Chains A and B, each alone.
Chain A
Amino acid sequence: MAGREKTADGSIVICRCEDITLSEIRDLIAQGYHTIDEIKRVSRAGMGPCQGRTCRQLIARELAAALGVPIEQVEMPTFRPPSRPVLLSTIARGEADE
């Protein structure tokens, strides 16, 4: 391609919400964080607005590869409501009809 322009640095982004890259995830696994939950708690991956919808599977795949287990053996984190962000004012305002 003509006129080679500056290009983004080649990072592989796993968690778009919290800006966590693949190399960070691999570092954490190497440091001994071996569940999605632990990785989430230490890095915030999966705690952003999409609640892990995008990154959870990619992290699971990395764990499966690093730990040498089939992906179905990777423990899923606990799922708690809400599954999408809710403004505090919405909850504080209370219920519509009570």
Chain B
Amino acid sequence: MREVDIAVVGAGPAGLAATLACGESGAATLLVDYMDAPGGQLIKQTHKFFGSERQFAGTRGIQIPAIFMDRLSKMPNVALMWGANASGYYADSGVLTLEDGSKFVKVKAKRVIIATGAAEKPLAFENNDLPGVYGAGAVQTLMNVHGVKPGDRVLMVGSGNIGLIVSYQLIQAGVEVVALVEAAGCIGGYLVHAAKLRRAGVPILTSHTVVRALGEETVRGAVVAQVDQSWQVIPGSEREVACDVICLAVGLTPLVDMMWQAGCEMKYVPALGGHVPVRDENMRASNPAVYVAGDSGGVEEASSAMISGEIAGISAATSLGFEVKEADARLSRLKADLTAIRSGPTGEKICAGIKCATVCGGEW
């Protein structure tokens, strides 16, 4: 059986950053991802990043995987496995099971960093399973990665940053966004994104939701309705909208199956998207062999993912006795960066959520 010091599951921004930190420490590191190439959600992200230079400010998401790979590919102690799906973690033996094509591979790892990201939340409405009802990530993948128009007229559901940004990307690709509906009374994402949509003539309907998809076997329209403050549909407010895509951007839920399998203490934190592992300030879970990084620890964004990934990588490596130069200073700076990213009005809820998910006193 293959043995490594540290296995990193998921090669999105968090996993890439974690692997780089582990690689730099000299630990024998394995990075796996079920896609054929690294990047996770970065491969769809055409917008320029905010934040500091350390978080690639000014760089587009799509350019970032190559920057990491340039360094990782030169590290002899770092192994990369693409097209390999990690489907199980056995806590008693520290074994990770992978499917590599048609081969079943077991890897014994002293430490595992779970960076599996998050998945689209579904929405329950009539005919919600019709072809043409797509997650926002799917619409982004189709457009930005494969260069295919998702449709001609899109109804966007959800006004968080993803809903706003994907709507704008649709317009850039020449697709009409017939409306954006948001069940809450106010827009969830940054107003700068919403302003761009308004200028492009997209109606943003707050206190509205989709109640029915129309069409026999594919989406041909939707029924939207106004909702009250308890999210109940106001009778008589239903309206039909012609569209061929209903795009759901109603949030993400952390993908944490392996954390449950590992017996980690979990907590339901709505602000972070659902169940997340309880962790200390260095991203270690209650099972001391397991670390969490990126969206699977709580849905935020790529910049935060890269920082928590680096924190997890440094911590996992030092816990095994590998030397990371100026570890303490780096950790302090990274944690300060996270605090900075999380400051501001939208960050407040995240901060509260993270506190909920962090063990008291920040240490086990």
Binding site for B on A (CB under 8 A): 1, 5-14, 16, 22, 51, 53-55, 57-58, 71-72, 76, 79-84, 86-87, 89-91, 93-98
Contact = CB atoms under 8 A, between A and B. Distances in A.
Contacts of B270: 71
B216 A6 contact: yes
A54 B216 CA distance: 23
Given A12-B126, A57-B121, A90-B99, A80 B215 contact: no
Pick the most buried of A9, A80, A82: most chain B CB atoms within 10 A of its CB. A82
A1 B128 contact: no
A82 B88 contact: yes
Interface of B: 1-2, 34, 85, 87-90, 97, 99-100, 102-106, 119, 121-122, 124-130, 212-217, 220-221, 240, 242, 253, 255, 257-258, 260-261, 266-268, 270, 274-275
B128 A13 contact: yes
Nearest to B269: A72
A66 B34 CA distance: 38
Contact of A90 (B90, B103, B130): B103
A9 B129 CA distance: 11
> Nearest 8 A-B pairs (CB), nearest first?
A81-B88, A82-B87, A79-B260, A72-B268, A83-B257, A13-B129, A96-B103, A10-B126
A96 B105 contact: yes
Contacts of A55: 122
Nearest to B97: A81
Contacts of B128: 12-13
B243 to A, nearest CB: 11
- The winner among B121, B216, B257 for most chain A CB atoms within 10 A is B257
A40 B21 CA distance: 41
A91 B104 contact: yes
A93 B1 contact: no
A7 B102 contact: no
B127 A76 contact: no
A47 to B, nearest CB: 14
Q: Which of B99, B124, B261, B275 has the most CB of A within 10 A?
A: B124
B1 A97 contact: yes
A8 B130 contact: yes
